[in-house]
């Protein structure tokens, strides 16, 4: 009776011991080890596998217990638990001390959950996930750089600072940017001035008078005006001189009128192509030397660029969605607003520029900048009190009216592009070919017959610019 009770207690203790060993991690699969064969066993961290031997073993050992832990379930079954990333060796010996087998135990990170999350977040991406030591290796081709970054961010959650990126981005990754600068400037100026002169050399008792307003206030032009000639300094578009005598008094009236209208149109269309994520620069113009004073009294020269400038960084974030970081400018030398000192002159610049970041799809356009400016000025100068007299007061005053309007818009268009063969491209110089000596001296031709050109150059040469073309300003 005592023996039966003791046996039941022993069996219960063995059962509890085996159960407590299996609780931390459940075995995933069963691996069979054959005699005299070298095998490899893969185990995930904090997971276990059961190894089954084809023959009974009497002794087993693990080379590095820090990487994997083992325990025997029977004389043929072994419980292997992964503890830390690495590789170690499991050795099995029989009752006579002979080697049954050596098993390489490879312990790596558990990426099953990571694969499941990656498949849920990026279901259509062909991303391969592998382990390397204690890190994660991602490979494959993804559709956009944005989705690539999402996969890397998710991997960092499972293996911080131990993620190797071997992925590449598929699809078109080159962006051509077309920027159009259009500026229209209009100016209107009107000027109406009246000048009056009176000259009386002998008025009762030898009294003399000589006076004038406007241009006639200058005594140098007054005499010639009374004599019947226009002032030599007249710059107006129209001038009328009237003169008459009232007894001993000579009277001269000079009416001057000016009306100026001007239209200026500026247009620039730079095109530039760059790889996604790479900066591209474009400058069509020149550089202007500017002296700069340095410490110690020395003077150095710095060159300031002017012309059409374009800097941008494209990023293809998702298939045909493009993110653009853009800087564009159009500048020109302005000699009217310069700096002059001791016969040394530095010209100023007129500059229109913008810096922004936009997002658009392939072929879309954005008006990234615009300006509408309207300036006007009215001025009037007159002789005090006399200029306020109705009707006759016009002879004692002058009025000037000026108005300037400026309208500017900058439009960008982005395209995803791929390279093509050189034969399919045409240059502006393809439509003009130098003639032979025979054509030049005998027939007077300054260019070769365009009908003989082939390929893309021939297509360009067929374009005939007869009739009205270009821009018409009204």
Q: Does 165 map to a domain?
A: yes
d(CA 57, CA 97): 9
Whole-angstrom distance between the N-terminal and C-terminal Cα of the chain? 123
In this structure, what token pair is assigned to residue 177? 């940017």
Q: Do 78 and 53 sit in the same domain of this protein?
A: yes
The answer on 207 and 195 residing in a single domain is: yes
Tens digit of pLDDT for each residue in 357-406? 999 998 899 888 888 888 888 888 887 887 778 877 777 788 888 888 88
Regarding whether 93 and 121 lie in a shared domain, the answer is no
Region 347-364 average pLDDT: 89
pLDDT at 90 over 80: yes
Residue 2 resides in a domain? no
The reported pLDDT for the residue numbered 455 is 58
Q: Are residues 195 and 252 in the same domain?
A: yes
Indicate the pLDDT class of residue 18, thresholds 50, 70 and 90.
very low
Of 140, 169, 198, which residue sits at a domain end? 169
The total of structural domains in the chain comes to: 4
* pLDDT band at residue 108 using 50, 70 and 90 as cut-offs: confident
Residue 431 pLDDT > 70: no
* 148 falls within a domain: yes
> What residue numbers bound the domain in which 91 lies?
39-108
189 located within any domain:
yes
In a domain, 233, yes or no: yes
Torsion over CA of 446, 450, 455 and 459, rounded to 10 degrees? 110
Question: Which of 235, 256, 277 marks a domain boundary?
Answer: 256
Partners of residue 415 on adjacent β-strands: 176
The 10s digit of each residue's pLDDT in 214-258 is: 666 654 444 444 444 455 555 565 667 677 777 667 777 777 777
Domain end: 194, 222, 256, which one?
Answer: 256
Report, as an integer, the average pLDDT of 179-206: 75
Residue 296 included in any domain: no
Q: Report pTM.
A: 0.57
Burial 228-262 (b: 16+ CB within 10 A, else e): eebbeeeebeebebeeeeeeeebebbbbbeeeeee
CATH code of the domain in which 132 resides? 3.30.1340.30
- The per-residue pLDDT for 29 is 53
Does 147 lie in the same domain as 84? Answer: no
Helix axis angle, 145-158 to 112-121, nearest 10°: 150
- Domain match, 58 and 117 both: no
Which residue is listed with tokens 């009217």? 336
| pLDDT single digits (tens) 273-284 | 998 889 999 998
Section 430-437 average pLDDT: 76
Residue 3 lies in a domain: no
Mean pLDDT of the chain: 77
160 in a structural domain: yes
Q: Is the pLDDT of residue 313 over 90?
A: yes
Q: In which residue are the tokens 């027939």 written?
A: 443
Q: Are residues 223 and 237 in the same domain?
A: yes
Nearest residue to 216 via CA among 231, 232, 237? 231
Question: How many other CB atoms are there within 10 angstroms of residue 424's CB atom?
Answer: 8
Mean pLDDT of 170-184: 84
Q: Are residues 146 and 90 in the same domain?
A: no
The model's confidence at residue 265, banded by pLDDT at 50, 70 and 90, is confident
Q: Per-residue DSSP letters for 453-474?
A: --HHHHHHHT----SS-S----
- Which is nearest to 311 in space by CA: 354, 268, 355, 280? 280
Q: What is the pLDDT of residues 31-80, one digit of tens each?
A: 667 676 677 888 888 888 888 888 888 888 889 989 899 988 888 888 99
Q: Per-residue confidence at 147, pLDDT binned at 50, 70, 90?
A: confident
């Amino acid at each position: 009776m005592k023996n039966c009770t003791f046996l039941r207690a022993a069996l219960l203790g063995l059962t509890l011991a085996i159960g407590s060993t299996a609780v931390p991690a459940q075995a995933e699969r069963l691996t069979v080890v054959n005699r005299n064969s070298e095998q490899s066993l893969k185990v995930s961290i904090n997971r276990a596998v059961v190894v089954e031997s084809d023959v009974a073993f009497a002794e087993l050992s693990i080379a590095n217990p820090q990487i994997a832990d083992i325990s025997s379930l029977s004389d043929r079954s072994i419980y292997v638990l992964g503890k830390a990333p690495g590789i170690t060796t499991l050795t099995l010996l029989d009752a006579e001390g002979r080697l049954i087998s050596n098993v390489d135990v490879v312990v790596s990170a558990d990426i099953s959950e990571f694969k499941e999350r990656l498949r849920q977040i990026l279901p259509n991406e062909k991303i391969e996930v592998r382990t390397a030591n204690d890190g994660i290796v991602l490979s494959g081709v993804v559709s956009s750089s944005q989705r690539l970054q999402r996969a890397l961010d998710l991997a960092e959650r499972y293996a911080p600072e131990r993620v190797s990126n071997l992925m590449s981005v598929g699809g078109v990754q080159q962006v051509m940017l077309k920027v159009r600068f259009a500026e229209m400037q209009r100016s209107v100026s009107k000027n109406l001035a009246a000048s009056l002169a009176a000259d009386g050399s002998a008025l009762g008792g030898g009294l003399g008078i000589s006076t004038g307003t406007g241009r006639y206030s200058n005594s140098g032009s007054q005499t010639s005006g009374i004599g019947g000639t226009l002032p030599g300094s007249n710059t107006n578009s129209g001038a009328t001189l009237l003169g008459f005598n009232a007894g001993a008094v000579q009277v001269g009236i000079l009416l001057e009128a000016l009306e100026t209208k001007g239209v200026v149109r500026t247009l620039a269309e730079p095109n530039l192509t760059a790889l996604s994520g790479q900066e591209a620069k474009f400058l069509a113009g020149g550089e202007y030397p500017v002296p700069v004073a340095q410490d110690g009294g020395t003077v150095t020269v710095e060159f300031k660029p002017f012309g059409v400038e374009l800097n941008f960084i494209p990023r293809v974030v998702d298939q045909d969605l493009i993110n653009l970081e853009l800087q564009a400018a159009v500048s020109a030398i302005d000699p009217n607003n310069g700096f002059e000192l001791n016969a040394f002159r530095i010209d100023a610049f007129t500059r229109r520029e913008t810096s922004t970041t936009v997002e658009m799809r392939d072929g879309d356009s954005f008006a990234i900048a615009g300006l509408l400016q309207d300036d006007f000025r009215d001025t009037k100068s007159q002789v005090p009190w006399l200029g306020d007299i109705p009707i006759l007061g016009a002879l004692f005053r002058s009025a000037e009216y000026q108005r300037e309007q400026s309208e500017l818009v900058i439009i960008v268009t982005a395209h995803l592009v791929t390279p093509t063969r050189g034969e399919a491209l045409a240059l502006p110089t393809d439509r003009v070919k130098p003639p032979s000596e025979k054509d030049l001296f005998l027939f007077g031709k300054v260019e070769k017959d365009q009908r003989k050109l082939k390929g893309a150059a021939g297509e360009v040469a067929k374009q005939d610019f007869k009739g009205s073309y270009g821009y018409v300003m009204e």
